[in-house]
Amino acid sequence: MTSSSGSGLTFKLHPLVIVNISDHYTRIKSQAQLSQAAAGGACCNGGDSAQASSLTPAPPLRVVGCVIGVQRGRTVEIFNSFELVFDPVSQSIDRAYLEKKQELYKKVFPNFYVLGWYSTGTDAQESDMQIHKALMDINESPVYLLLNPTINHAQKDLPITIFESELHVIDGIPQLIFVRSTYTIETVEAERISIDHVAHLKPSDGGSAATQLAAHLTGIYSAIKMLNGRIKLVYQYLLAMQRGDLPVDNSLLRQVSSLMRRLPAIESEKFQDDFLMEFNDTLLVTYLAMLTSCSSTLNELVDKFNTSYERQTRRGGRTAFI
């Protein structure tokens, strides 16, 4: 890997791409931590220490996705990104999923093209070239955007590196290698407002949330956490009662049974009928609103056409009405 690229391309990176990659990595990391905690708890509850010790270490956490945007001449502008299904063992991506996502994004953003891919890590690796070559049938010269999730408070620059691939002859053998490219951050007014809002989604000095959204999410998280804790408490109590560690309390068992009978309430036929009726009413209201909007637009078009036609007929000395 050489120090800099000689292609002469100018890269413009939008903040939405950085936010998407950071969110992707954070979600996958949280899910992995929850899975490891659940596996550790299962091993401890089962008392099988040999099974716990035989667990193989998980591969380094890594996320992979595609970056999309436009290329105008020598300027490449990266607007957005989407996730990919990545197999860390075989170091390969799900091709069918990539083609489906590309088709969906093409319907929404017809001017955007797949410019390359992104990943997380401290530096480009030799195995990254395998993924890079797999995308060359979509873009003959894809870019590789690497985000370093390691927090370095002393570093003021963004932990983002953009690589290009160049064909170099090494020891008489032509090989593709990654070369670093410079980039600038490009943003529009809507992105600046959104990024500023996301940047303030954190607790203030007093401990309260800085925004209403953060306060709402914090309240939901606390409620779900409390509900989960109480369900675990009831479950552990019933297990202890079943094992005979605690005396049987028929009054409490009746309350638990009454609580459990409320769960199938939303699976009843009456609930499904009421739900479908309300759902259809909502769709009907939306349909009527669309018809009203189309009728209003058509009426404006007819008025403009009549006005334009009257002017033309008056110039020609004739009178016509529609």
What is the total count of domains within the chain?
A: 2
Examine residue 292 and state whether it is found in any structural domain, yes or no: no
Whether pLDDT at 190 is above 50: yes
- Evaluate if pTM is beyond 0.75: no
135 and 74, same structural domain? yes
27 and 136, same structural domain? yes
157 and 107, same structural domain? yes
173 and 34, same structural domain? yes
**23 falls in which pLDDT band (50, 70, 90)?**
confident
**316 falls in which pLDDT band (50, 70, 90)?**
low
Query: 187: domain CATH number?
Result: 3.40.140.10
Task: Share the mean pLDDT of the chain.
Answer: 80
Examine residue 97 and state whether it is found in any structural domain, yes or no: yes
117 and 22, same structural domain? yes
**50 falls in which pLDDT band (50, 70, 90)?**
very low
The reported pLDDT for the residue numbered 78 is: 92
229 and 150, same structural domain? no
146 and 125, same structural domain? yes
CA-only gyration radius of the chain, Å: 29
223 and 125, same structural domain? no
* Parent domain of 151: 10-44+57-199
Model pLDDT for residues 141-176, shown as the tens digit of each residue: 899 999 988 877 677 778 888 998 888 777 778 888
Examine residue 218 and state whether it is found in any structural domain, yes or no: yes
Model pLDDT for residues 113-132, shown as the tens digit of each residue: 899 999 998 888 888 888 88
The reported pLDDT for the residue numbered 117 is: 92
157 and 65, same structural domain? yes
185 and 72, same structural domain? yes
Examine residue 272 and state whether it is found in any structural domain, yes or no: no
**47 falls in which pLDDT band (50, 70, 90)?**
low
Query: Of 247, 263, 279, at which residue does a domain stop?
Result: 263
151 and 254, same structural domain? no
Whether pLDDT at 207 is above 80: no
The reported pLDDT for the residue numbered 287 is: 84
236 and 168, same structural domain? no
